[in-house]
Structure 1
Amino acid sequence: MNTNYSIRDEIRDFWSERAATFDQSVGHEIFSEAERKGWQRLIRKHLGEGQGRAALDLACGTAVISHLMHSAGFAVTGLDWSDAMLAQARAKAKKRGADIRFVSGDAENTMEPKDSYDVITNRHLVWTLVDPASAFKEWFSVLKPGGKVLILDGNMGKETWVKGLQKLWTKVTGKPPASHMSPEMMARHQKIRSRVHFSSQMPAEAVVDLLRQAGFTDIVVDRKLSDIHWAQARKMPFLRGLERMVQERFAICARKPG
């Protein structure tokens, strides 16, 4: 066994293996105009129009959020440390004719210049962070004074009543609920989850506390995402769609003083 193989390496390799099929999953890529409009509404609500401002999309994956930011008028840099994800992202941007810069890097240590971005975005990243307190300090440093971070995530570890239904379904039928991951990938996902900072639950309040400790102010938690979730749920199998509607998902926007 390679003793230098860390949890961060494991996370990178897991998402690299997911890259080829990542955009096939509802909740990753966008499959309806209703969902697209929901994301655009959310971005404009918290960040306003881009007007050429510099945006850094952390753990950009195949660049779903990067493209939404680009269409809102931001000058976007997408950062990810999975070469496989970045290959998909670059191909998508080329196909769409979108002028998005992509760089390989670690969201917890971006190596981007200090005070260089007006906006930082990320989706489904914070729960994967090994050291979110350190990461938030890094993001604070990279933002220009007055810049904002927009976190799109959720308390995925929280049990919902729909999870209970899914377990009952499995017990009665012997069939696991529909999933976009194989049992082997699901097991790897759970193994990773058990070793990150937010290994069980990730309530918005815990994220807010760490943002505040990093120096962020004017922190807003937005739970009004039903337009996005309803559009996603309509494209999912029934139980997965129902779970999407009841999960504790949120956007958190915070500002660097200046």
Structure 2
Amino acid sequence: MTTSPPRLAPHDVIFWDLATTSGVYRHPLTSEELRLFEQRFPGHRGKRAIDAGCGTGDFTRHLYAAGMDVTGLDWSPFAITMARQATPCPLPYVVHDLSLGDPPGLIARSVDLVVCRQSLSLLADPAALLYRIRTNWLRPGGQLYLSEIRITDHEARTLRGGMTEPELDRLGDGWAHATRYDLTSQRAACVILRSPAS
């Protein structure tokens, strides 16, 4: 029997609401990250995607412009409001706490791609979300794109978010295939995980 991971403390939502409204973004989307993403995910027009922890929707809008049927999820109501205001089309953005389970209305194993940029490490139980994405969100052979800031063991004791090298190495556990590359424009590691084919 499994238990649900604990809900994020209310101050976490308040923190990100304030970060969003103040315009503080520690690690914005860069042209390098987009270019390398496109090299590894060509031809995704018409596919289904979820941007988990979408913030103000920069990557969500990129996926939409590339022809994907995409939904953005974030636990910050202010971030979702800003994402909606920045999007000229009626793109679905949903306020959802990733630690509480699957998003509302999700059809099991119906998603081709999940994007999770610098959000996984903020959860109380990252492994629980990885498991749900692999077993319930993604189609067989679907992929998860993760981006996390690389931090040292010392930084892990004081910083909010980010992953150490051992934590990054363990991300592929249980997946059919894992690929990692690092960005030069910021101290970030990108990991692509593919779910089993059946």
Q: When the two structures are superposed, what TM-score results if normalisation uses the length of structure 1?
A: 0.64
SS state at 2:177 partner: strand
Instruction: Determine which structure has more spread, i.e. the larger CA radius of gyration.
Output: 1
Which residue identity lines up with residue 36 of structure 2 in the other structure?
L
Partner of 2:3: none
Which residue, 112, 121, 126 being the options, matches 2:120? 126
Partner of 1:19: 20
Query: Which structure: greater strand fraction?
Result: 2
Partner of 2:163: 202
Which residue identity lines up with residue 221 of structure 1 in the other structure?
R
Q: Deviations over 1:35-76 (max 9, x none)?
A: 43x233222122223211011000111001111212222111
Seq. identity, %: 22
Which residue identity lines up with residue 100 of structure 1 in the other structure?
L
Which residue identity lines up with residue 252 of structure 1 in the other structure?
V
Partner of 2:80: 86
1:33-44 correspondence to structure 2 within 5 Å:
35-36=30-31, 38-44=32-38
RMSD (CA atoms): 2.5
Q: Deviations over 1:92-126 (max 9, x none)?
A: 01xxx245211121223233331021000011112
Query: Which structure: greater helix fraction?
Result: 1
SS state at 1:257 partner: coil
Structure-2 separation of matches of 1:158 and 1:99: 42
**Is residue 2:181 matched to residue 1:222?**
yes
Offset of residue 256 of structure 1: 0.6
Q: Deviations over 1:2-54 (max 9, x none)?
A: xxx964322211101112133x64733x5xxxx43x23322212222321101
SS state at 2:131 partner: helix
Where relative contact order (Cα < 8 A, 6+ residues apart) is larger, the structure is: 1
Which sections of structure 1, spanning at least 5 residues, go unmatched? 161-189, 230-243
Structure-1 separation of matches of 2:73 and 2:7: 20
Which sections of structure 2, spanning at least 5 residues, go unmatched? 1-5
Structure-2 separation of matches of 1:138 and 1:17: 29
